Amino acid sequence: MPDASRKKLIYVSEDVLERLARLAYARGESLAKLLDRVLRQVVEAFDMGYNMEELIDLLKVVEVEKKLGAVFVPHEVVETLLEKTGDSDDVRRVFYEAGRAYGLYIRNKYRGSLDIVRSFLEKTRWDLNEVSVVEQGDSYKLMCVSTVMDEVETSMTASFIEGLLAGLGYTILREEVSKGIIVVEFKA
């Protein structure tokens, strides 16, 4: 069993160490205490199956959701509401405008990163089994696949994605939507 009181020397780049020292000072704690806590949290995240890049992406997604007033509701609530309203132009317009607002925010906050867009869709839409964004020369292809979305949910998600891409400043070249599958080709 390792001795908890044993200490190890590790090398940290000077700029990172300076930033950490400022953080520790601002929080009123020692640098050693801050580093110990941070490293324990990193180990906990790894134990949960996450890496730090995934956690940072998740925090960015949560920040976007919080800033834009999103609410988390069970999937069956969304299904029920869409069943009641059907595939109407009014509902599709609401999804499009919501997507557009998200796109504008992401474009201005995160420079329109398509990695953030992919991560955002993966982390907010647990009903999507696959999300990919692939560069194809001077254009891109976004594909979303779901085994649980019906035609109406697929249509509304496609409208959200259209708005998202419009808010990011992209032009849609081609779109294919079928139950559970959305493929959008777009360019800057």
Answer yes or no: is pLDDT of 3 > 70.
no
Token pair 């696949």 in the structure block, residue: 145
**HEC string of 43-64?**
HHHHHCCCCHHHHHHHHHHHHH
Helices marked H in the chain — which ranges?
A: 14-27, 31-47, 52-67, 75-85, 89-110, 114-124, 151-167
Answer yes or no: is pLDDT of 96 > 80.
yes
Q: Cα separation of 18 and 3, whole Å?
A: 29
Confidence of residue 1 (pLDDT cuts 50, 70, 90): low
Answer yes or no: is pLDDT of 79 > 70.
yes
Residue 97's pLDDT is what? Answer: 96
How much is the average pLDDT of 92-119?
90
Mean pLDDT of the chain: 90
The structure tokens listed for 141 are: 């292809």
Q: Cα separation of 135 and 188, whole Å?
A: 11
pTM of the predicted structure, to 2 decimals: 0.78
